[in-house]
Structure formats: structure tokens, C-alpha cells
Chain A
């Protein structure tokens, strides 16, 4: 249960970030950067722990799963596509729309094909049972 060890730390680190004034703080804020680096480092450890346990059998689903998950950049794209700006409104919306589209391709396509693949990995008994039907 290494996961549990990591979580309190991640929670503390994320609290720093959430406590900041959102969005408007464009100026440099060291606390945010430090918290972000914590999150990055902890996620890296966690990733190493979790992913090194995935057997080679499931390496293709792993790749498509992580691909789908990294489609989370969708949330950044959504805000850009839907916000109002003083300058360059059209360009920003167009770039945002393109980003939403490509992220959404990965999210829908990625999760669907991962599920389709994982459905195929079955035990011997399950395969036999289906053939009898």
C-alpha cells in the first residue's frame, strides 16, 4: 500500500496550490511553483511504482490508457476555448477549439479502445464458456 504513503503528501502539496488566488495570479508566485514541483515529483514516484507493476501482457492497453488519461489537457483547452479576451479573441478561440477537438479525440478514442482491448484478455474458463454458447 505504497499509494497511501504518497497521498497525504500530495494532499498537503495540493492544498498550497488551491489556497492561492485562482487564475488571475499571472505574476510569479514561488509558493505555487514549489507546490507544483512537489506534485510533479510525487506523481513521478507514484507513476514509477504503479507502472513498473504492469505486466508486459498489458503494455499495449497501458499505452492507450495513459494516452487517454493525458487527454486531461482537455480541461485546459475548455477554459481557453470558452473564455472572453480583450485581444486576439478569434485566434485564441480557434486554437482552443482545435485543442478541445484533439484532446477529445484522445479521451473518447483512448478509453473506448482500451476497454475494447481489455475485454479480450480472458481466462481459459471464460474463453471456453463463451465457445459453448
Chain B
């Protein structure tokens, strides 16, 4: 090896170590920021080292790519926190696009001369990459509400999907047998693009945390496969870390909904409106002043946010109310369900943006034991994650899903836009319980009005 080659590999080794250290630092919010700066330095080192790669002769396309990429990437980092799920879905699409373009280019350059192992990795890379590109774009479209958020289903969908899948496998096998036949390869790419679309359209917006994690994992694995094709370790390491992170997250998200990945992907959850769950009793509407008095004289108040808080952009109003209550000596906590919102950790980021210190944010397991001694639980735009049917009614479609048990609190206030059912179409018995009071209206203005009302108490 020549000196330049050693230098290049050294930067890759440094980058790999820095990536791992960066991810390790994410185990605590105090160390996280410094760790990510280290990871970014690792990336810069690898980028800098590669610029001296002996095979590079022409820098025009590189500079164009770097400049255009930065010009799009930097504004994409400035989006409001409420748009995080869409943005993340888009970046999965870009990551996967990069991997599958590298694969395509490798095939265009080397044709069938790569050898069977690399060909296999290349096929996998391009297949996973391509389906992640279109799948993520559909997911982003659903989250941005460009595409209908409810599951899009049609008759024979499973057969179409199965057919597409078998088609991809067939093309893959035929191509492996005859690597020079580009037609199989390009058909494979086309089918993978189509499969990505078909995979995500039947999935409802509320299941997006799982889908996002899964796409994250696919994008990572396709990067790792790129590493196998190019014989490059840092690609394998970074891709595997990304792939595993997505894999672990999707398991955690599924567990938080008590459903299997197959059920999420093929269940079409939320498309059937359950009509047979007639709940006895009526919803009790409460007035703003009642709630304000309850809150002002409480010992402990727990806020339970859901996706409704994100859509109403109510996180700042929520924090203001929380601050005011704390000034009056009320203990204020935030209980966060793992699948609240549209991506893992969505609610935490929104509340942190509104200056809620992270010590006030509690995980489901931490907050549940405290609810019995809580005076008022305030549910802000959350529905299924507080539905007691999941615990009490074994026939419910969400039976067994762990919930935040707000109904154990002495009093529950539900902030809700209207009387309609939640996303899943399930009736929520919580709303009919005697301890529950409903406060209708836009969450943001309700919270702002509550703050004013508490000030007058």
C-alpha cells in the first residue's frame, strides 16, 4: 500500500471509532451534544481523507454534489420541530437514494464482473435502497398530509404485494445466474420502487413510529451492503449501526403497541371503524374556570401529550401553564407514551423545544405508579395511548397495549378538538368515566385560556 492509502484508511478508522463514541454519548442528554460533535468530526475526517483517494481524477461532479447537497441539507435542518417526522422520513429517502445510486453506478461500471458475493450484496443494496426511497417518500407524504393518512387498501392487495415480492426474488435469482443480463437487474430496481409504495400506503399515520423505524433500519442495511460491495469497513460499521438502531426502535415501538411487525405492516389498522363498542354513560363537559380551580389547588398535575398537541402546536402554551402551576407550588410532570406522536421520541423533542427541562419528562413506566396520587391528569390530544379498554377489555383491537393509566388519577381533564373518535376509530371509555371532564376546543387556545384563568384564581 502506498502512503496515501494508509492515510485514507486511518481517517476511516478514526471515523468508525468516533461514530461509535458519538452514539454511546446519546445515552445521556448531558453528554449527547459533545458526542455528536465528535461524530461529525469523524464524518469530516472521512470526507477529507476520501478527497485524496488515488482513483479520483475529476473534482467537478464532486464539488457540484457537495454544494447542492449542502444547499438542500442546511435548510432541511431548519424546519420547525413539529415537522420532524416528515423531515426524518425524507432523510431516510435521501440516505437510501445515495446507497442505491452507488449500487447502480457500480453495476453500470463493472457490469457482471464483480463476482457472485459482491453481486449478491449489490442486489440487496439496490433492492433495499430502492424500496426505502419510495416507501419513505410515501411516509413523508402521509405525515405532511399530502397523501391521505388513513390506510389506503384495495381488494387483493396482499396478492399484489406477494406477487411483487416474488417478482423481485425471481429477478434477483435470474440476475445472479446471468449477471450480464441488465434487464433482470433494472426490472428488479423498478419492482423494488413499486414495492416500497405498496408497502407503506396501507399503513395508517398512527403506526408511523414503527414504519419510520423500519425504514431507518432498511436505509442503514443498504448502506452496510454498499460497504460489502466496495469492501469498505467504515461503510459496513456505520450502516450496521444505523440498521440496528432502526431495528431496535421498531421492536420497542411494536412492544409499546402490543402488536407484531407483520400486524403493523399488513394489518391495515385503523381502516375498519369499530361500531360495536357502545359505551354506557355520557361525556361530561367542564368549563374553563372549573378546570383552572382544580389545577390551581392541586398538589400534583400530570400532562399527557399526544399527536393532537403537535398538530395544535400547543407545546409552548402547555409549558406556560406548567410554569405558572409550578410557581404556585404544584408539582408538574409530563407523562410520555413511547408511541405518542408520529415518530419515536416525538413528544420529548416538542416539549424540550418549549423549554420543558428533561427532568420533568417521564416515561410511561415511571409515571404510571404516580398517577394514583395525582390530583389532575391533563390529556392533550392523546387518545389511544390513554384508552383504558387496552387494559380492561380483552376484545378491544388494542387489547394488551400498555397505556398511561390516567383514569387512576383523582380527576382527568381531556383537551379535545371535537366529539369525534380518535384516529383508530375506537371509542374511548375514558371519556365517559365519571372522573373525566371534557374541555373541547383547540388545544393551544384552551391552554392559553387556562393559563389566564389560573392567574385569576
In the complex, whether B240 has a CB less than 8 A from a CB of chain A is yes
In the complex, whether B173 has a CB less than 8 A from a CB of chain A is no
Asked if A64 contacts B115 (CB within 8 A), the reply is no
In the complex, whether B358 has a CB less than 8 A from a CB of chain A is yes
Asked if B353 contacts A66 (CB within 8 A), the reply is no
List residues 54-109 of chain A with CB under 8 A from any CB of chain B.
Answer: 54-85, 87-88, 91-109
CA of A44 to CA of B109 in the docked complex: distance in angstroms? 30
In the complex, whether A118 has a CB less than 8 A from a CB of chain B is yes
Asked if A36 contacts B248 (CB within 8 A), the reply is no
Q: Give A109 Cβ to nearest chain B Cβ, in Å.
A: 4
Query: What 1/0 mask marks residues of chain B from 51 to 78 whose CB sits below 8 Å from any chain A CB?
Result: 1011111110110111011101110110
CA of A121 to CA of B230 in the docked complex: distance in angstroms? 38
Asked if B70 contacts A104 (CB within 8 A), the reply is yes
List residues 347-397 of chain B with CB under 8 A from any CB of chain A.
Answer: 348-349, 352-353, 355-361, 363
In the complex, whether A112 has a CB less than 8 A from a CB of chain B is yes
Residues of A within 8 A of B252 (CB): 56
Asked if B245 contacts A104 (CB within 8 A), the reply is no
CA of A61 to CA of B235 in the docked complex: distance in angstroms? 21
Binds A, one of B189-197, B213-221, B282-290, B407-415: B213-221
Asked if B97 contacts A98 (CB within 8 A), the reply is yes
Main secondary structure of the interface of A (DSSP, over half): helix
User: A47: which of B50, B54, B99, B241 is its contact (CB, 8 Å)?
Assistant: B241
Q: Give B115 Cβ to nearest chain A Cβ, in Å.
A: 4
List residues 1-46 of chain B with CB under 8 A from any CB of chain A.
Answer: 1, 5, 9, 12-13, 15-17, 19-20, 22-24, 26-30, 32-33, 36-37, 39-40, 43, 46
Q: Give A95 Cβ to nearest chain B Cβ, in Å.
A: 4
Binds A, one of B100-108, B147-155, B272-280, B443-451: B100-108
Asked if B57 contacts A82 (CB within 8 A), the reply is yes
CA of A98 to CA of B105 in the docked complex: distance in angstroms? 10
In the complex, whether B270 has a CB less than 8 A from a CB of chain A is no
Q: Size band of the B side of the interface?
A: 35 or more
Asked if B344 contacts A77 (CB within 8 A), the reply is no
CA of A98 to CA of B40 in the docked complex: distance in angstroms? 22
User: A57: which of B23, B79, B94, B348 is its contact (CB, 8 Å)?
Assistant: B348
Closest B residue to A58 by beta carbon equals B26
Residues of B within 8 A of A85 (CB): 109
Asked if B113 contacts A26 (CB within 8 A), the reply is yes
In the complex, whether A132 has a CB less than 8 A from a CB of chain B is no
Q: Which has the most chain A C-beta neighbours within 10 Å: B53, B113, B240?
A: B240
Residues of A within 8 A of B356 (CB): 127
Asked if B248 contacts A105 (CB within 8 A), the reply is no
Asked if B1 contacts A18 (CB within 8 A), the reply is yes
Q: Give A90 Cβ to nearest chain B Cβ, in Å.
A: 10
Asked if A76 contacts B102 (CB within 8 A), the reply is yes
CA of A80 to CA of B162 in the docked complex: distance in angstroms? 35
Residues of B within 8 A of A75 (CB): 12, 46-47, 50, 232, 234-235
Asked if A118 contacts B358 (CB within 8 A), the reply is no
In the complex, whether B325 has a CB less than 8 A from a CB of chain A is no
Q: Which has the most chain B C-beta neighbours within 10 Å: A54, A60, A61?
A: A60
30 contacts between A and B (CB under 8 A): A14-B13, A23-B55, A33-B228, A36-B231, A39-B233, A43-B244, A51-B248, A56-B345, A57-B29, A59-B344, A60-B348, A67-B92, A67-B242, A69-B241, A75-B50, A80-B109, A82-B58, A83-B57, A88-B109, A98-B65, A99-B101, A100-B64, A103-B98, A105-B91, A108-B70, A109-B87, A110-B73, A112-B77, A117-B349, A120-B353
User: Which residues of A come within 8 Å of B, CB atoms?
Assistant: 3, 7, 10, 14, 17-18, 20, 22-23, 25-28, 32-33, 36, 39-40, 43-44, 46-48, 50-85, 87-88, 91-124, 126-127, 130-131
Known: A57-B348, A60-B346. 20 other contacts (CB 8 A): A7-B17, A22-B5, A32-B231, A43-B237, A56-B252, A61-B32, A61-B36, A61-B345, A62-B23, A67-B216, A72-B223, A77-B102, A95-B105, A102-B101, A104-B65, A105-B72, A107-B69, A121-B358, A122-B352, A124-B359
Please name the 4 residue pairs, one residue from A and one from B, whose CB atoms are nearest each other, closest first: A104-B69, A100-B65, A59-B345, A108-B73
